[in-house]
């Protein structure tokens, strides 16, 4: 795992209600993943969101990849 990329993902209760975001901004990991899954290219995202860098997109993909490696999920009942 590339720690430099992984450090671009922040979780801060003061930003986006604690959802994983890019470098403590209001650009969330799920936003970038949704853009990619809708068919936007990396270049299109970089053009539309000038604050986003190529490494941020790679960090989101790496973050998502790590989440799929979780061995078990537990349902949390509130």
Partners of 21 in the β-ladder? 10, 28
The CATH number of the structural domain formed by 3-67 is 1.10.10.10
Report the pLDDT value the prediction gives residue 53, as an integer from 0 to 100.
96
pLDDT tens, residue by residue, 13-72: 999 999 999 999 999 999 999 999 999 999 999 999 999 999 999 999 999 998 888 887
Burial (CB < 10 A; 0-12, 13-18, 19+), residue 21, is buried
Residue spans of alpha helices (H) in the chain: 3-6, 29-37, 42-48, 54-67
pTM of the model: 0.83
pLDDT value of position 76: 72
């Amino acid at each position: 795992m590339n720690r430099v990329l992984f450090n671009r993902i922040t979780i801060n209760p003061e930003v986006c209600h604690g959802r994983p975001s890019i470098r403590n901004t209001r650009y969330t990991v799920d936003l970038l993943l949704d853009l990619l899954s809708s068919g936007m290219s990396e270049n299109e995202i970089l053009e539309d969101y000038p604050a986003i860098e190529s490494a941020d997109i790679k960090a989101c993909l790496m973050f998502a990849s790590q989440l799929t490696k979780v061995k078990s999920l537990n349902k949390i009942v509130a």
